[in-house]
Amino acid sequence: MINGLNVFIELSVIIVIATLISGLMRLLKQPLIIGYILTGILLSPFFLNLIKSTDTITIFSQIGVSFLLFIVGLSLSPNVIREVGKISLITGVGQVIFTTLIGFFISKLLGFSNVVSMYIAIALAFSSTIIIMKLLSDKNDLDKLYGKISIGFLLVQDLIAIFILIIISSMSRELTVSATLLGLIFKGLVLIIILLLTGKYILPKLSNFFARSQEFLFLFSIGWGLGLASLFNFIGFSIEIGALLAGIALSVSPYHYEISSKMRPLRDFFIILFFILLGSQLSFSNINQYIVPAIVFSLLILIGNPLIVLLLMGSLGYNKKTGFLAGLTVAQISEFSLILVALGVSIGHLNNDILSLVTVVGLITIAGSTYFIIYSDKIYPYIENYLTIFEIRKDKKKNKESFKKYDIILFGYNRIGYDFLQSFKKLKKKFLVVDYNPDVIKDLSNNGIDCLYGDADDEEFLVGLPLEGVKMAVSTVPDFDTNVLLVNTIKRINPNAITIVISHQIGDANVLYDKGATYVVLPHFLGGKYASMMINKYGLNKNKFLIEKRKHILHLRNREKIGHRHPNIEKN
C-alpha cells in the first residue's frame, strides 16, 4: 500500500510540474512537446532526480505510444496504403541508406573508429515515428498527402530499425542471425494474414454488436489495440507495430472515426509520460569534448535528411512543397537511435561518451524539427524559389492551353463534393474535378467525368489550371491554409469568379471572407440551419417531415455505397 501511495504521489508531482512548465510554454507560444521533454530533463538524475518509479512510468508511456499508433492505424485504410505504399517504401529505404553512408564518412573524418562510426551513422538514419505522428496530429495534417507519405516511410524505417536491433542482439547472445530473422518474418506474416482476414470477414459482422453500447465499444477498442500490441511484442516485433496493425484492421469499420475520437483523451494523457520519460533518460555526462561532433551531426539531420527526402521525392515526380514538408519529418533522430547506442554500450562496442553524444544530437534535432514542422507553412515561402531544382521529373511543358474551357472547377470530390457534382450536372455546365486521391480520379475517369490528379496546396499547380475563364471554383478541402491559397490565387487570376470554400471554425470563415471568398460553408452549422428551414416550411406537419426522411435515407444509402464517411475534424 505504501509503495502504491508513493507511486501515486510521484506521478502527481510529475504531472503538476509538467503542467507548470507546459503552461509556461503556452505563454511563450512554444510547442508543448518541448515542455514535456524539458520536464523530463528537470526531473532527471542530473537535476531534481524526482523520478523513482521508472518501471511504472515506462509502462504508462508504452500505453500512450500504443494508443497513438492505434489511432494512426485507424486512418490508414487499405486504400491509403495503396496510394502511398510505393513512395513510402522507396523514400524510407533510400533515406536510411544515404544518411548512413554520409554519416559514416563524416564520423570517420571526425576521428571515430569504424565500429563507432557505423553505430553513429545508423543511429542518425532513423527518425522518431512517435514525435512526428504527434506533431502531424496536432496540426491536423495526418490526412494530407505529405502526412500519409511521411507516416509510410517512418514505419518503413521502424521495421528496418527493428531488424538491425535483432541482428545486434543476436550478436550479443551468439545466436544465428538468419534463423532469428527468418523465424520472426514467418511468424509476423502469419499473424498479419490472420489479422487482415479477421478485419475483412469477421469484425464487420460484429461491428453492430459492439456499437450497441458506447461503453462496450470503448472497452473493445482498448482491448483490441493493447491486446494485439502485446501479441506482436510477444513474437518479437515492437509494441508500436502491433498497435498500428490493430488500428489498420479496424480502419474498414464504419465506427472507426468514433473509436478514434474516444481514444484521443487516453492517448493525450499517456503520451505526455512518454515524452517526460524520454527527457529524463537523456544523458549529458562528459559531453564537453563532443560539442563539435554534436553540432556537425545535428546539422546533417536537420538539413541533410530533408534534402535527401526532397531529392528522392522530386525524382519520383512529387512537387517541391510536398517533398519539403515530408522532408522536415525526418529532421530528428529516433528513440530507436538511443536504444541502438545503449545496446552497443551494453555489449562493449561503445562507451558511455558516445551515448552522451547521440543524446545531445537527439535533444537538438527533436527541438529543431519540432519548430520546423510547426512553422513549416511560414518557412516555406522564404525558400520556395530555391527548392525548384528538386522537382526533377516535373513536366515543365505543361501549360494552360492543354485544358478545355470549364465553367466550374471542383477541388476535392469526396463527401461534400459529391453533392456539388450533382448540382453541376443539373446546371448542364462544363466542370473539372481536381483531387489528390488516385482512386477517386480513377473512379471519376471510369464514369466519364473530366478530372485531374493534383494537390490544391501547390500554388504552381493552381496557376497551371484554366482559372481565367471559370465562372465558379468550389473547394471541399477542409484545410484552412489551402483554402486561403485557393481564394488568393483565384482572386488574383480571375476576380469575377464565384469562390465557395469549406471551413470548420467560425474564426477561419471570417478570415476567408476577408480574403475575398464569395461564400464559406460551415458543415457543423449547416445541418441545424437546414433543419430550422424545414420547420419554418413544414411547421408541425409530420407527413412532410417523413417525406424528407425518405429522401434523406435514400441519399445516405447512395453515399454509403460509394464509401463516403463523415470526416473526423479535430481542431486543437
CB of 160 closer than 8 Å to CB of 238 = no
Query: Does pLDDT of 567 surpass 60?
Result: no
Q: How many Å is the Cα radius of gyration of the chain?
A: 26
More confident residue, 161 or 472: 472
**% of the chain at pLDDT higher than 70:** 84
Position 181 scores a pLDDT of 61
Q: From CA 333, how far away is CA 255, in angstroms rounded?
A: 35
84-88, 144-148, 253-257, 445-449: least confidently modelled range? 253-257
More confident residue, 70 or 187: 70
Residue ranges of domains in the chain, CATH in brackets: 2-390 (1.20.1530.20), 400-561 (3.40.50.720)
Position 562 scores a pLDDT of 57
Average pLDDT, stretch 306-311?
Answer: 93
pLDDT band at 172 (very low <50, low <70, confident <90, very high): low
Q: From CA 534, how far away is CA 188, in angstroms rounded?
A: 55
Query: Does pLDDT of 462 surpass 70?
Result: yes
The per-residue pLDDT for range 218-252, each reduced to its tens digit, is 888 899 889 988 888 887 777 877 887 888 888 77
- Residue type (1 letter), 529: K
Q: Would you list the DSSP string of 440-489?
A: HHHHHHHTT--EEE--TT-HHHHHTS--TT-SEEEE----HHHHHHHHHH
Give the angle 294-297-298 at the CA atoms, nearest 5°.
80
122 CB burial (10 A radius; 0-12, 13-18, 19+): buried
pLDDT band at 310 (very low <50, low <70, confident <90, very high): very high
pLDDT band at 540 (very low <50, low <70, confident <90, very high): confident
pLDDT band at 285 (very low <50, low <70, confident <90, very high): low
Q: From CA 477, how far away is CA 455, in angstroms rounded?
A: 10
Average pLDDT, stretch 342-369?
Answer: 84
CB of 499 closer than 8 Å to CB of 490 = yes
Position 466 scores a pLDDT of 83
The per-residue pLDDT for range 50-82, each reduced to its tens digit, is 888 888 888 888 888 888 878 877 866 666 666
118-122, 178-182, 193-197: least confidently modelled range? 178-182
Query: Does pLDDT of 120 surpass 90?
Result: yes
- Residue type (1 letter), 212: R
CB of 509 closer than 8 Å to CB of 483 = no
Q: CA dist 83 to 41, 60, 87, 168, 258, Å?
A: 40, 34, 9, 34, 24
Q: From CA 338, how far away is CA 37, in angstroms rounded?
A: 15
Q: Would you list the DSSP string of 82-99?
A: HHHHHHHHHHHHHHHHHH
Number of residues written out for the chain: 572
- b/e per residue 202-216 (b: at least 16 CB within 10 A): ebeeebeebbeeeee
CA nearest 75: which of 7, 128, 151, 160? 151
Query: Does pLDDT of 572 surpass 50?
Result: no
Mean pLDDT estimate for the chain? 81
Distance between alpha carbon 51 and the CA centroid of its chain, in Å? 31
pLDDT band at 138 (very low <50, low <70, confident <90, very high): confident
Q: Would you list the DSSP string of 29-68?
A: T--HHHHHHHHHHHHSTTTT-----HHHHHHHHHHHHHHH
Collect all residues with Cβ–Cβ distance below 8 Å to 37 and sequence separation of at least 6: 275, 276, 278, 279, 363, 366, 367
pLDDT band at 520 (very low <50, low <70, confident <90, very high): confident
Position 171 scores a pLDDT of 59
Phi then psi for residue 408, to 5 deg, are -140, 140
More confident residue, 343 or 13: 13
- Residue type (1 letter), 245: L
Average pLDDT, stretch 304-325?
Answer: 89
Q: From CA 217, how far away is CA 213, in angstroms rounded?
A: 6
pLDDT band at 398 (very low <50, low <70, confident <90, very high): very low
> Taken in order 370, 281, 275, 338, is the CA torsion positive or negative?
positive
Average pLDDT, stretch 380-409?
Answer: 70
142-146, 206-210, 477-481: which has the highest mean pLDDT? 477-481
Position 526 scores a pLDDT of 67
CB of 255 closer than 8 Å to CB of 211 = yes
Q: From CA 74, how far away is CA 248, in angstroms rounded?
A: 5
- Report helix, strand or coil for 500: strand
Query: Does pLDDT of 266 surpass 90?
Result: no
pLDDT band at 400 (very low <50, low <70, confident <90, very high): very low
Position 166 scores a pLDDT of 67
Which cell is 318 given?
A: 512529387
Q: Is residue 533 within a helix (H) or strand (E), and if so which, with residue range?
A: helix 523-538
- Residue type (1 letter), 130: I
Which cell is 435 given?
A: 483531387
Phi then psi for residue 451, to 5 deg, are -150, 165
Q: Is residue 563 within a helix (H) or strand (E), and if so which, with residue range?
A: none
CA nearest 372: which of 151, 140, 139? 139
Q: From CA 199, how far away is CA 247, in angstroms rounded?
A: 10
CA nearest 154: which of 175, 170, 136? 136
pLDDT band at 169 (very low <50, low <70, confident <90, very high): low
Average pLDDT, stretch 427-434?
Answer: 86
CB of 136 closer than 8 Å to CB of 142 = yes
Give the angle 332-335-18 at the CA atoms, nearest 5°.
90
CA nearest 192: which of 254, 153, 249? 249
pLDDT band at 177 (very low <50, low <70, confident <90, very high): low
Query: Does pLDDT of 174 surpass 60?
Result: no
pLDDT band at 109 (very low <50, low <70, confident <90, very high): very high
Query: Does pLDDT of 570 surpass 60?
Result: no
Q: From CA 528, how far away is CA 181, in angstroms rounded?
A: 57
**What number of other Cβ atoms are within 10 A of residue 354's Cβ?**
21
Position 105 scores a pLDDT of 95
- Report helix, strand or coil for 434: strand
**What number of other Cβ atoms are within 10 A of residue 269's Cβ?**
14
Q: From CA 444, how far away is CA 251, in angstroms rounded?
A: 24
Q: CA dist 126 to 147, 271, 375, Å?
A: 17, 20, 22
CA nearest 133: which of 306, 370, 436, 383? 370
